[in-house]
Chains A and B, each alone.
Chain A
Amino acid sequence: MKHNKYIYPFASLMLAFSTLFLSCERDPNELSPATYPTTADVFIDGFSGDMGYAAFGGSDVRAFDVDTEVKYKGTSSIRIAVPDANDPAGAYAGGVYYSNTGRDLSGYNVLSFWAKASKSASIDLIGFGNDLGENKYQASISGLEVNTNWKKYYIPIPDPAKLKSEHGLLFFAEGPEDDKGYTFWIDEVQFENLGTIAHNSSGILNGADETQNAETGNVFNIQGYAVANLPNGIDQRVDAAPAYFNFVSSDPAVASVNANGVVTVLDAGTAVITATLGNTPSTGSLTIVSSGTAVLPQTAAPTPTEPASQVISVFSNAYTNVPVDFFNGYWQFSTAQTFDLQINGDDVKRYTQLNFVGIQFTSPTIDATAMTNFHIDIWTPDPVGPSTKFKILLVDIGADGAFGGGDDSSHEITLSSSSLSSQSWVSLDIPLSQFTGLTSRKHLAQIVLSGDLPNVFVDNVFFHKVGVATAPTVAAPTPSLPQANVISLFSGAYTNVPVDTWRTNWSAATLEDVSIAGNAVKKYSALDFVGIETVANPINASGMTHFHIDVWSGDFTFFAVKLVDFGANGAFGGGDDVEHQIDFSMPAKGQWISYDIPLSNFTGLTTRQHIAQFILVGQPSGASTVYVDNLYFHN
C-alpha cells in the first residue's frame, strides 16, 4: 500500500472533563478502560494530541471526517465516506491515524472500537501498526463485517511486548461494495487490556506444514497470523506482520531466516523453519529440501529450422505456439514441479522431481493429421546410465473432444540411453508413425513425459511435417531454346543482358547469390516484394511472346510477378508507364516451377518496348523464401 502526504492536523476535540459512566447493567467488557492512561485512546470524542492522519495514495483523500451527528457515545465519531467505483476523487477510502511521538502499547492486548455502517458491508482491511514506514508490526483483519447497528469490534495485538514505540494506531482501506459507495462510522477507538480476550494462538503458512523443494539462492517469504478468542467466545484471526514472530531454522547453513520471515536457501540439505509468537510455538512450518547449487544448461537448445508453415508448435520461441491448458497438471501421484526460465534469452520449461508430468491442450485440440513427426528438445543434468529411460506419451481424445467416451487413443514411446545424453541438448524427432497405438492424431490433447530423469529441461515441443525441403537440392531445368529466340536477364544457359539491380533499395526482401548443384541462383528470403530493374538498358520485348521464370520455394503460399514498361521517356512516371501483374495462388512447394507466361496475358502491359522493372511478390509476406533462375523472354 502506498502512502501520499495528505496529512491533516486535528482540531482538538478533547473533552474538558473525563467521562465516567457506571451502570449496574454494565457491559462487562467495558468496565476497565476508565482506569487506563490516556495514551490508550485513539479516538474517543476526538484525537489525542500526538496524532495525525494520512490518506493512502489513490484513495479519496476527503473520505475521512469527524461526524458530530452520528456517534456511538459522546460527541463525535470517525466518519468514512467510501466513494463509488470510478469516482475521480479516488477509487477507495483508506488511510492511517498515526502518533507522531509513538506509544508504548505493550500493556494492552487489543485495539477495540465501535462501528456501524449505512448498509451491511465488509471492510476490506482494518488494523494497526501501519506507521507510514516499514509497517513492521502491522496487524489487521481482512473483511470486517459491519452493518447498520453499532457493534464493538476487537483487533487482538499478536504480541504486545513488541509494541514499545508504535506509531501506527489505526488504519483502514475499503472500496465500494458492488461498485456502490457507502458510509461507515468508527467510535471509541482505544487500546485495552482485556481479561476477556483469551486463548491466544498463532500460526505461519496458514498453519500448514509445508515442504518446498529448493536450490541454493531460492527465497521464500513466510506470512503469519495470530488468533485470540473474543469476549463473545468467537476466535478472531489477525494477519500479523512477520516481525511479530521469532523464526528459527533447524539448519541455518542450509536455509537462513531473518526477522522478517525471509527464508534464503544457502546449501544442499534439509532445514525446517518454525516460529514462536512471544514464548508460544506457532502452528505450521516450512521444510526446505535443498538440492544445492542448480545445474543448468549453459546454451539454449538449437533453434529449429523447420519452416513455420510445416509446424504446429506447443512450446518454442521459434514459432507461434498453440494455446496450452497447462505444462503441469499436478496430477495425483505426480511429484513434478515446473519452472519457467530462460537460457540465453530462450524460454525453457524446467521440470524437477519429474516422475511423470502432463502437458495438455484441449482448447482447441491439435489436428496433427498433416504432420509427420513429433519433436522435443531435452537437457538433463542427471547421469544417463545404460538402463536410463525417457518416455513420451501422446494422447488423442477423439471426436467427442473429451477424455473417455471410447474414442481415445494413445501411444507411449520409450527412449533408451542410446537416444539420451547428460548435460547436452538432445533433439528428439520421432516419426508419428512410430506411435502405433495412436490411431488418430486429429484431436491430440496431451503429451505425458516420464522416465528415469528427475530433472529435465524442455524446449521446442512441436509437431511438424518433414519431406518438404527448405532449399532446392537440384538445379532448375536448363532451358533448351536457342539463344536467338531469347532475351535473358538471368540464366546460365544464355548470355544475359545488363541488369541494373537484382534488388532495388526499396525492396522488402533479402537477396543472396547462391549456388544450387553448381548452378547460380538468386535466393530471395524474408520476401514480401523485390524490385529488379533494367532502367539503364530497357528491354524491348516487342518481338517476344513469353515471359519465363523458374521459382522454387519450400514455404510460399502465393507468388506474383509484375512487369513494368517505363514508356518512351525511359523513366519511371511521366504518364507513359504501363504495367501488369500475374498472381499465382498456392503454388507447389518444394519443387522447381517453370512459369512460362504468354505476354498476351499481361493485358495491362500495352507496350513492351521499354520494360525496365520486374517485381516479384511472395507470401506469407516477409516470411517466404523463393529461389529464382532462368528469367528471360522468348518467342
Chain B
Amino acid sequence: MLRGNPKDQKTKNPIIHQQSSINTMKYLNIKTLILFTFACVLPAGIIFSLTACKADEGQTLDQRNYKLVWSDEFDGAAGESPDPTKWTFDIGTGSNGWGNQELEYYTNRPDNVSMDGAGNLLITAKREAFAGAGFTSARIKTQGLFSQTYGRIEARLKTPYGPGIWPAFWMLGDNIDTEGWPQCGEIDIMELRGQEPNLINGTLHGPGYSGGNAITKVFTLLNDRFDNDFHVFAVEWGTDYIDFFVDDTLYRHLTPDNLTGEWVFDRPFFILLNVAVGGNYVGFPTTETPFPQSMTIDYVRVYQEAN
C-alpha cells in the first residue's frame, strides 16, 4: 500500500507470466527463470530486435525449507468478524484519507468485514453515505498481535474490481509508530487498480524509495483477471532478498543492491489487508464502478525457514 504521492508506478518491463518455476508443496523450489527476448514483427515485415524488452536476469534459487508459524484460514461462520486474537482494525478515514486521499470510511462492521461461511473472509467496499464519507470498507492488520522478520508470507485471495477500487495485501515495519514512514519500510505483496483487473503490483517502500519512487513491479495475467479466480500472492523474505510471487511464479527478486536507499527489511513487520476506494494511486471511482465490491481471502499464512 503506497503512501505519499506516487506517480507512474508501472514498470516498463513487465515480466511475462510463465510456469517454469513450480512448487507443488509448501516448500518452495525455485528453478530458473527464463530469459525472454521479444521479437517485434511490424506489418511491413521488418524485424526489429527490441533490446528494451530484456527481462530480468535468469537465476537459480536454493530450495527453502519453510514451516508454518502463523495462519488464519477464515473458517468461521457467515457474518463472523475476524479473530480478535489475530486481527485488529483501522477505523475511520485516517489522516488525509490514510495518506492517499482515499474516500472510504473504514469500519469493523460485518457489512464491511466478515466471514462468508464458506472458508473465506470478505472485505467489502460499499457505496453508502457514512460518517461524512461516500463509501465504507475495512482494513484489518496484525499490528500488536503478530509480526515477523523473514520467511514466506502468503495469501490466497480473489480481488475486487472496478475503477477506483484498490485492494491490497501488504506489510509495514513494527517501528512505524516510533520511526515513521517510510523509514519503517513497507512491503506491498499485492495491490491492484480495479480498472486494470488483470495486473497487480509488488512493491517495496523505504527511505529514499517511497511513494512515486518506490521499487515496484507489475505482474500481468494474460487473457485473464485476478477476480476470475483465487490466486496466491506471496513474498519470500530473507536477510538480503525479497522475492515476489504470484501463484508459483517468481516475478521479482530484490536485494539491497536493487534499492536506491537503506535496506530496512531486517526487523519484524506486521500484515495488513484492505480494500480502499479512490485515492491518488487508483483514481476516483466512477458512476460506472460496480458496488459493492469484495476481496475474498481464503487464507493468510506465514512461514519461517526451518534450519
Contacts and interface: CB of A to CB of B under 8 A. Distances in A.
B210 interface: no
A196 B198 contact: yes
B61 interface: no
B224 A195 contact: yes
Contacts of A233: 161-163, 165, 194-197, 289-290
A232 B38 CA distance: 26
A74 B44 CA distance: 10
Contacts of A25: 12
A24 B161 contact: no
Contacts of A234: 162-163, 195, 286, 288-290
A573 interface: no
Contacts of A199: 161, 227
A17 B45 contact: yes
Given A28-B199, A196-B198, A235 B41 contact: no
A352 interface: no
Interface residues of B, number: 35
B145 interface: no
Interface in A231-250: 231-235
B50 A195 contact: no
Interface in A1-54: 17, 19-25, 28, 31-32
B223 interface: yes
Contacts of A231: 197-198, 225
Given A195-B228, A229-B161, A235-B288, A31 B42 contact: no
B41 A28 contact: no
A198 interface: yes
Interface in B50-105: 50, 52-53
Interface string B1-44: 00000000000111000000000000000000000001111110
B131 interface: no
A628 interface: no
A28 B198 contact: yes
Contacts of B225: 195-196, 198, 231
A81 interface: no
B38 A196 contact: no
B163 to A, nearest CB: 5
A198 B227 contact: yes
B306 interface: no
Contact of A22 (B39, B198, B286): B39
A32 B223 contact: yes
B280 to A, nearest CB: 18
B43 A31 contact: no
A196 B41 contact: no
A25 B50 CA distance: 11
B290 A31 contact: no
Nearest to A20: B41
A248 B220 CA distance: 42
Contacts of B224: 195-196
A601 to B, nearest CB: 83
A194 B288 contact: no
B290 A21 contact: no
A198 B43 contact: no
B223 A31 contact: yes
A24 B165 contact: no
B156 to A, nearest CB: 19
B13 A24 contact: yes
A474 to B, nearest CB: 79
A74 B43 contact: yes
Interface in B208-237: 220-225, 227-228
A229 B13 CA distance: 27
B43 A23 contact: no
Contacts of A195: 198, 221-225, 228
Interface in A181-203: 194-196, 198-199
B41 to A, nearest CB: 5
A112 to B, nearest CB: 13
B224 to A, nearest CB: 4
A22 B38 contact: yes
Contacts of B38: 22-24
A243 B197 CA distance: 31
Contact of B43 (A19, A28, A196, A235): A19
A236 to B, nearest CB: 9
Contacts of A22: 38-41
Contacts of A23: 38, 40, 50, 53
Contacts of A194: 223
A21 B197 contact: no
Contacts of B45: 17
Contacts of B290: 229, 233-235
A509 B216 CA distance: 99
B223 A232 contact: no
Contacts of B228: 195, 198
A163 B289 CA distance: 30
Contacts of A20: 41
B161 A21 contact: no
Given A24-B38, A198-B228, A232 B195 contact: yes
Contacts of B43: 19, 21, 74
Interface in B273-299: 286, 288-290
B152 to A, nearest CB: 28
A229 B12 CA distance: 27
A229 B45 CA distance: 36
Nearest to A235: B290
B196 to A, nearest CB: 7
Contacts of B194: 233
B184 to A, nearest CB: 32
A525 B53 CA distance: 101
Nearest to A25: B12
Contacts of A74: 43
A28 B220 contact: yes
A445 to B, nearest CB: 40
A234 B43 CA distance: 32
Nearest to B160: A233
A298 B229 CA distance: 64
Which of B12, B13, B197, B286 counts the most A-chain CB atoms under 10 A from its CB? Answer: B197
A160 to B, nearest CB: 16
Contacts of A32: 222-223
Contacts of B289: 233-234
Interface string B168-205: 00000000000000000000000000111111000000
Q: Which 5 pairs of residues, A with B, have the shortest CB-CB distance?
A: A195-B223, A195-B224, A24-B53, A233-B162, A19-B43
13 contacts: A23-B38, A24-B12, A24-B50, A25-B12, A28-B220, A195-B198, A195-B224, A196-B197, A196-B225, A229-B227, A233-B290, A234-B163, A234-B289
